[in-house]
Amino acid sequence: MPGPSASSVVIERLGKKFDATVALDDINIEIANGELFGFIGPDGAGKTTLFRILVTLILPDAGRAVVLGGDVSAAIWQLRRRVGYMPGRFSLYPDLSVEENLRFFASVFGASVEEQHDLIAPIYDQLAPFRDRRAGALSGGMKQKLALCCALVHRPEILFLDEPTTGVDAVSRREFWELLDRLKATGLTIVVSTPYMDEADRCGRVALIQRGRILGVDTPTRIAASFGRPLFTVHAAERYPLLLAARQYEYAATVFPFGDTLHYTDRRDRVAPDEIARGLREYLGQRGFADADVKQASPTIEDTFMARMGEPERAA
């Protein structure tokens, strides 16, 4: 176990309920100084509740969390000066200009925009052409960049970003991650959450989170590799009929649409992958998919996530 000085965040047996709803259940995670750490999971997984606890906005019911050496339930006022937080919902003043928002957030923390220029320059430069525009009139991607600037303007030691890329198009998302890479290079610890599985690869380590529980913590590569059984992609021109047919195969364990292919796993443990692929191809041929292409493939984080989340949410 690393000592306290090597960890920015230590979460032990953390729990939180809202009435009868369990938002967080027995969370245990340690995040090292300088890490870019991601919480990956859908809406309702508990990401926002966890972030609010870590930035001292709400109190946990069970367990504890230590951020920068201070307990989030006790060291509230000291911590608030030292953490940066970008909430998931756009929380700047829409009627103030880009410049005014930034100056306001700096002044709240007794900082000035000029002092912090080196830290925010790479981001602020992209916003500079819109300096006098009302924040409410910016595009989604630009709003996110401004919110990031405002979260950084008091030079925090750790940055919490709650779903900074949700609802933002693929290009802006990519640019945003490039900015985070630059910030990480300055030594800043960054904790970020996202519902987009493909963004996991941008993090050093990730925690998969679903319905208040952690499904796994590791590097993206190791999480993907932990899938633990042969995975196959299946491709044919008639996709939907192919999906239905593959599901009816007697040895099928899981069949999911995945981009322009299906991802298939087999029930049998002792059959060689080549054998599985050949059998499936033959079966699909008989079902009229002469063009069915079956290949063994490397699992992605999303495959692992789906395997570990088990049963999807049930209705009441």
Chain residues binding another protein by CB under 8 A are 41-45, 127, 129-130, 133, 137-142, 166-174, 195-198, 210, 239-240, 243, 256-260, 302, 305-306, 309, 312-316
The CB-of-5 to another protein minimum distance in angstroms stands at: 37
Q: Which is nearer to another protein, 68 or 123 (CB)?
A: 123
The CB-of-43 to another protein minimum distance in angstroms stands at: 4
The CB-of-6 to another protein minimum distance in angstroms stands at: 33
Q: Which is nearer to another protein, 131 or 278 (CB)?
A: 131
The CB-of-256 to another protein minimum distance in angstroms stands at: 5
- Would strands 36-40 and 205-210 be described as parallel, antiparallel, or unpaired? parallel
Q: Which is nearer to another protein, 97 or 210 (CB)?
A: 210
Q: Which is nearer to another protein, 109 or 249 (CB)?
A: 249
Residue 227 vs residues 61, 252, 265, 299: alpha-carbon distances, Å: 33, 17, 11, 7
Measured distance CA(258)–CA(219) in Å, rounded: 22
Q: Which is nearer to another protein, 74 or 237 (CB)?
A: 237
Q: Are 150 and 101 in contact (CB under 8 A)?
A: yes
Residue 190: HSE in the Cβ half-sphere, 13 Å Cα cutoff:
26
The CB-of-171 to another protein minimum distance in angstroms stands at: 5
Residue 100 vs residues 6, 67, 86, 147: alpha-carbon distances, Å: 37, 30, 17, 12
Task: Write the DSSP string, 289-310.
Answer: -TT-EEEEE---HHHHHHHHH-
